[in-house]
């Protein structure tokens, strides 16, 4: 796994084919290294510098490349569309290492891949199974099973290799600026903005240090992206030095137009002289406090108050709006309803006195009740008793949202709770 992560510096997707084999999806990236031959030499040289010897082959499919590397007798590059010719003389063991299968093929005189390829494909599948038939197709460069395919996608990335290892904070800052500038120019050519950023630092000891950044809205603002990455640089351990870096955007969307806001606030509080876009403010807060602590509220299909909204990423869904058909709701709900002692002239009436948090409060106004029944079809998390909600106001003008849990005359006496506060 460590070697697989190290190989990400060469290709956007790396798959472990066997305990001793890795497949790299290099389509669309080989030109960054001067072509397939130069890339093969580069990978081999970099592995050799770390004391590793590898057999490297390039072909239309990962299965074919693995077979050529294992049985091809040395470095091999199969020309595009010529995989069948390249693997034809490989031994039958390139397709299967099962001793019983190989013995059966030997009895039939099938000793190389070309012998297997000449068999009727339907008969081969019926006799030796679907899995081997699919692998044979992949070995011949025809079609690779979905489970073996390496996702092919347009890669949005910027890379940098260093003649000498770098390690100082100033050097890392400079790397961030260089890579974000290159990535933003690439995104501009494609009319896209990044929604996710991943910055990989490849150390000289083959360890990979990674920074992940989530963005609330698509952007290709180099200044903003570099600042977010710089906030996380303190988590990077350069070790004995960093020899390469890669910044890539695994998720991109068409760029949306945003309107700068909070400019006056920024100037007044000396945060920055430049205007701050709303999505940039969200990204900065998320970078400092964590993504889980910066959220918006979206409606959820439930009439139980604590379930009626849910937390979502800002700009990910419609932000919560007041539901017009419901009675007024408090802007703030308590994390959990808190029990209170009440005095009511009639058991079914709203309270005229309430003791909450050790303070007695005399109630001068009340409105309700609003009855909310439990959602028995979901689960028992909200209990199995009805709630009667009241909006009440004490003599000092403070307004509360309270409810009576349970109806009068039941097996268990009802209890009162404060659930929210009106502002």
DSSP 65-80: HHHHHHHSSS-EEPPT
Whole-number pLDDT of residue 320: 47
As a whole number, mean pLDDT of residues 270-290 equals 66
245, pLDDT greater than 90: yes
265, pLDDT greater than 70: no
Residue bearing the bigger pLDDT, 336 or 408: 336
CATH, domain range 158-258: 3.30.1490.100
Whole-number pLDDT of residue 257: 47
pLDDT tens profile 313-329: 776 555 545 444 567 78
Whole-number pLDDT of residue 361: 93
> CA–CA distance from 358 to each of 35, 375, 416 (Å)?
77, 32, 15
382, pLDDT greater than 60: no
How far apart are the C-alpha atoms of 369 and 401, rounded to whole Å? 11
pTM of the predicted protein model: 0.58
- Strand runs (DSSP E) across 62-207, as ranges? 76-77, 157-166, 192-203
Nearest to 274, CA basis, from 216, 223, 218: 223
147, pLDDT greater than 80: no
Residue % of the chain over a pLDDT of 90: 32
pLDDT tens profile 68-121: 998 987 668 888 888 999 999 999 999 998 899 999 999 989 999 999 999 998
How far apart are the C-alpha atoms of 186 and 386, rounded to whole Å? 58
Whether cis (ω within 30° of 0) applies to the bond prior to 361 is: no
* Mean pLDDT over each residue of the chain, to the nearest integer: 83
pLDDT tens profile 21-41: 888 888 878 887 888 899 999
Domain ranges of the chain: 2-148, 158-258, 332-422
Query: Strands 399-405, 415-422: parallel, antiparallel or unpaired by DSSP?
Result: antiparallel
As a whole number, mean pLDDT of residues 334-352 equals 88
In a 13 Å sphere around the CA of 128, the CA atoms on its Cβ side amount to: 23
Whole-number pLDDT of residue 121: 86
Residue bearing the bigger pLDDT, 210 or 325: 210
As a whole number, mean pLDDT of residues 259-287 equals 58
Whole-number pLDDT of residue 154: 57
């Amino acid at each position: 796994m460590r070697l697989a992560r190290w190989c990400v510096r060469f290709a956007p997707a790396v798959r472990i084919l066997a305990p001793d084999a890795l497949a790299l999806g290099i389509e669309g990236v080989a030109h960054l290294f001067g072509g397939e031959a130069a890339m093969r030499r580069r990978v081999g040289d970099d592995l050799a510098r770390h004391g590793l010897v590898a057999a490297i082959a390039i072909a239309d499919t990962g299965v074919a490349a693995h077979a050529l590397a294992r049985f091809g007798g040395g470095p091999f590059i199969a020309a595009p569309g010529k995989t069948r010719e390249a693997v034809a003389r490989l031994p039958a063991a390139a397709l299967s290492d099962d001793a019983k299968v190989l013995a059966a093929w030997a009895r039939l005189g099938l000793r190389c891949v070309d012998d297997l390829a000449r068999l009727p494909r339907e008969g081969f599948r019926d006799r030796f199974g679907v899995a081997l038939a699919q692998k044979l197709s992949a070995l011949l460069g025809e079609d690779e099973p979905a489970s073996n395919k390496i996702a092919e996608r347009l890669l949005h990335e910027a890379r940098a290799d260093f003649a000498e290892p770098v390690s100082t904070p100033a050097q890392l800052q400079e790397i961030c600026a260089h890579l974000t500038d290159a990535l933003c120019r690439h995104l501009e050519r494609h009319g896209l903005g990044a929604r996710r950023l991943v910055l990989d630092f490849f150390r000289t000891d083959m360890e990979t240090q990674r920074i992940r950044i989530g963005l609330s809205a698509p952007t290709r603002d180099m200044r903003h992206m570099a600042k977010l990455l710089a906030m996380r640089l303190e988590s990077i351990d350069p070790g004995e030095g960093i020899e390469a870096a890669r910044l890539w955007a695994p998720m991109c969307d068409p760029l949306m137009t945003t309107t700068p806001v909070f400019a006056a606030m920024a100037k007044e509080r000396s945060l920055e002289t430049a205007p701050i876009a709303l999505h940039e403010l969200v990204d900065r807060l998320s970078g400092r406090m964590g993504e889980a602590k910066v959220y918006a509220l979206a409606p959820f299909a439930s009439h139980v108050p604590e379930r009626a909204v849910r937390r979502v990423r800002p700009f990910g869904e419609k932000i919560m709006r007041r539901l017009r058909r419901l009675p007024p709701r408090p802007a703030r709900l308590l994390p959990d309803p808190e029990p209170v002692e009440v005095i009511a002239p009639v058991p079914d009436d709203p309270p005229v006195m309430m003791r909450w948090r050790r303070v007695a409060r005399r109630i001068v106004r009340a409105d309700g009740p609003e009855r909310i029944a439990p959602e028995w079809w979901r689960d028992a998390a909200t209990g199995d008793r009805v709630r009667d909600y009241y909006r009440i106001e004490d003599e000092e003008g403070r307004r509360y949202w309270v409810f009576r849990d349970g109806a009068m005359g039941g097996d268990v006496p009802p209890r009162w709770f404060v659930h929210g506060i009106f502002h």
